[in-house]
Structure 1
Amino acid sequence: MKLVEPPSCRKSAAALVLIGRNSRGQWVVQEQAGLYGGLFVSRAEAIKYALFENGHHPETIVELSRTIELDTNGRFAPIGLLLGNGRRPVA
């Protein structure tokens, strides 16, 4: 039997999941409220994780063209500041 970590408890189709690269070139996934996130070596793995965590809602995933840093302190910047002009839907 394969054990799999369950998706985050709070599910909201309206919650955006941001994907982009950080200043070191790693792929970052960050849910807009900071409920979950992580660092990944490939875009494919970042998207796979984001889809798993958001209940397979690709329409809520936004890929940023500018750098994004993973916030581990729960002080994520307001969504408008992060999206700016670099907003581009993944799906």
Structure 2
Amino acid sequence: MVPCMAEGAAMAVEDAIKLAECLERLGDESEIPELMAHFQNIRLHRRHLTLDGARKNGAIWHLPDRLAQQERDKKMVLSPHELATQSGDGSSNK
């Protein structure tokens, strides 16, 4: 996980809850591999969403010192209303 969404602690708590739910279903030790595969499957979508968001944030925060960075910095001081007004349709300008 790249560190650009501050999601590490939240993901750890979510993982712990889902893992506990999986372990409640455990009948005997022979079921552990299947149970862990199920755990990975149920967490995969969430991990992908978080990783994609973190990568996007990383790209935004680590722009080179040029025009794109200056434009980003100008937009960061605007309120959501100002951003929507500026673009005309509620979407951000790129």
Higher helix share: 2
Is TM-score (shorter-chain normalized) higher than 0.5? no
Larger Rg: 2
TM range (shorter): under 0.3
Higher strand share: 1
